[in-house]
Structure 1
Amino acid sequence: MAVPARSPARPPSASILWVAGRGNGPVPRPGNAGTQIEEAGFSLIEALVALAVLAIATVGLIRAVESHIDSTRAMERRAAAMWVAENRLAEIQLADPAANASETDLLGQQWKVEIARTRTEDAGIDKVRIQVFAAGERSPLASLDGFVEGSRI
């Protein structure tokens, strides 16, 4: 009595799992005694470790970008405060009545301006120190010293 031939698509026994492999035919899965296979790709653990490394690197990158943005904003505020101080010194030199105002608006932000005048050894020249504060802050963002005619303040 002849045994019918099995189709190559079916595994020879139920105890061995078969997967499509490289080469001429199916390759047995690991766990079967005496069989060796080549596996391509990543295991789940390897993929999770790679994702964890990427997540940690991304957090570090985001923190670096946030720090850069904060320092850029601070530099922008200091530059705007210096513009306010320079404008106020120009107003004083032009004997503009607006130079005596203690608050001003520039770039959509309110600024508090403090002006201190001191006499110099030259009777016709006064030293002016202008300090600019952001609204509600106690430390100046900009301080500018300049000289004006003694009668200009």
Structure 2
Amino acid sequence: MTSLSARHRDGFTLMEALVALAILAIAGAGLIGATEAHIDQVRGLQNRVVAQWVAENRMAELSLQGGTPTDGTDRVDMLGRSWRVEVEVRPSDDPDLSMVNIGVTPVGARGAAAKLTGFVDRQGGSA
């Protein structure tokens, strides 16, 4: 025969269950916050990679055009997003080369997600 006090020790008390639920709720909220931060970091990395591709594509286009590239701003759509591409051309020490700075920014955002500096041969072909 079990006594009354022995039966009460078989399970959790209401207070113990509430404390356990509170700990789980706090841990769950922390896990959700960490997951959101990770998703934001991955999204930022994805934006920088795509912006770098846009910049490299623009550099290749300028290299293939031949002649002296010109300054300008353009809009490019890539992977479902719109990007603002700013091209700045400067002379270099070599008269056959132009130094090209390319900045790529998501449309509606501030600050360039990627910057690329390279040289374009004024006769056609990249350096």
Q: Tell me the distance in 2 between the aligned counterparts of 1:137 and 1:66.
A: 20
* Structure 1 residues without counterparts, runs of 5 or longer: 1-24, 31-36
Q: Tell me the distance in 1 between the aligned counterparts of 2:39 and 2:77.
A: 24
- 8 Å CA contact 2:102, 2:117 repeated in 1: yes
- Which of 17, 24, 30 is equivalent to 1:54? 24
- For the pair shown, the structure with the greater C-alpha radius of gyration is 1
Q: What's the TM-score once normalised by structure 2's chain length?
A: 0.86
Give aligned pairs, total. 119
Q: Tell me the distance in 2 between the aligned counterparts of 1:101 and 1:115.
A: 6
- Which residue matches 1:135? 107
- Which residue matches 1:11? none
Q: Deviations over 1:25-54 (max 9, x none)?
A: 353x35xxxxxx352111010011011011
- Which of 61, 69, 90 is equivalent to 2:60? 90
Runs of 4 or more above 4 Å deviation? none
What displacement does 1:150 show? Answer: 2.7
Q: Which has more strand, going by share of residues?
A: 2
* Structure 2 residues without counterparts, runs of 5 or longer: none
Higher RCO (C-alpha 8 Å, min separation 6): 2
Q: Tell me the distance in 1 between the aligned counterparts of 2:91 and 2:73.
A: 21
RMSD of aligned Cα (Å): 1.9
Q: Deviations over 1:38-75 (max 9, x none)?
A: 52111010011011011111111111011000000010
Q: Tell me the distance in 2 between the aligned counterparts of 1:82 and 1:146.
A: 13
- Which residue matches 1:43? 13
How many percent of aligned residue pairs carry the same amino acid?
Answer: 43
Indicate yes or no: 2:121 matched with 1:149: yes
